[in-house]
């Protein structure tokens, strides 16, 4: 038997998960699933369809599926109240904003998709940076060393 204690988690796991944290995790998971769907669609077009460049379609599909891992892992970490998960979730939202901007500047069906992506990203950033979420994840601000 060891006399060492097991380390405790840094987040406050005692109470129920705040709704804002759950909503942020859901939005991150939604973005990850959308990336997977887009990647699978590109792969199907590349293999079965008539793309302009088959190799580019397959590479784009695989890239989207791999990129989906970041928001999906972040969503899982947010649901489990892991403090490390906020960083990847925030990075995902910051990466989505320029994509939404480019979609808004395009023509056709990309404009409504750009509006939806911008709304999801801004909402998720608001939820992730909220003090209630920060506290639930056990993240302390600079200079706050009290436990």
Write the DSSP assignment of 7-56 as a string of letters: PPPSS--SSPPPHHHHHHHHHHHHHHHHHHHHHHHHHHHHHHS--S-HHH
Confidence (pLDDT) at 3: 54
pLDDT at 6: 44
Higher pLDDT: 44 or 109? It is 44
Q: What is the pLDDT of residue 7?
A: 43
Does residue 93 register a pLDDT over 90?
Answer: yes
Q: Smallest Cα–Cα separation from 43: which of 18, 27, 13, 63?
A: 63
The whole-angstrom separation of Cα 99 and Cα 102 is 5
Mean pLDDT score across all residues of the chain: 87
What is each CA distance from 89 to 1, 32, 48, 77, 111, in whole angstroms? Answer: 39, 10, 34, 9, 24
Q: Is the pTM of this model over 0.85?
A: no
How high is the pLDDT of residue 73? 96
Phi, psi of 37 (to 5 degrees): -60, -45
Tens digits of residue pLDDT in 112-133: 999 999 999 999 999 999 999 9
In terms of Cα–Cα distance, which of 84, 46, 49, 82 is closest to 64? 46
Q: Which of 21, 28, 30 is nearest to 74 (CA)?
A: 28
């Amino acid at each position: 038997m060891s006399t060492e204690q097991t380390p405790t988690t840094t987040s406050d796991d005692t109470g129920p998960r705040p709704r804002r944290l759950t909503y942020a995790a859901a939005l991150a998971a939604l973005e990850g699933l959308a990336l997977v769907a887009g990647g699978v669609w590109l792969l199907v077009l590349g293999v079965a369809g008539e793309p302009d460049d088959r190799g580019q379609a397959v590479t784009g599909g695989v890239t989207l599926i791999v990129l989906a891992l970041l928001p999906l892992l972040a969503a899982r970490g947010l649901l489990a109240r892991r403090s490390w998960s906020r960083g990847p979730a925030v990075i995902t939202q910051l990466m989505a904003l320029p994509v939404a901007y480019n979609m808004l500047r395009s023509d056709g069906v990309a404009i409504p998709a750009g509006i939806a992506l911008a709304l999801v990203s801004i909402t998720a950033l608001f939820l992730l940076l909220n003090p209630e979420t920060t506290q639930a994840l056990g993240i302390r601000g600079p200079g706050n060393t009290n436990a």
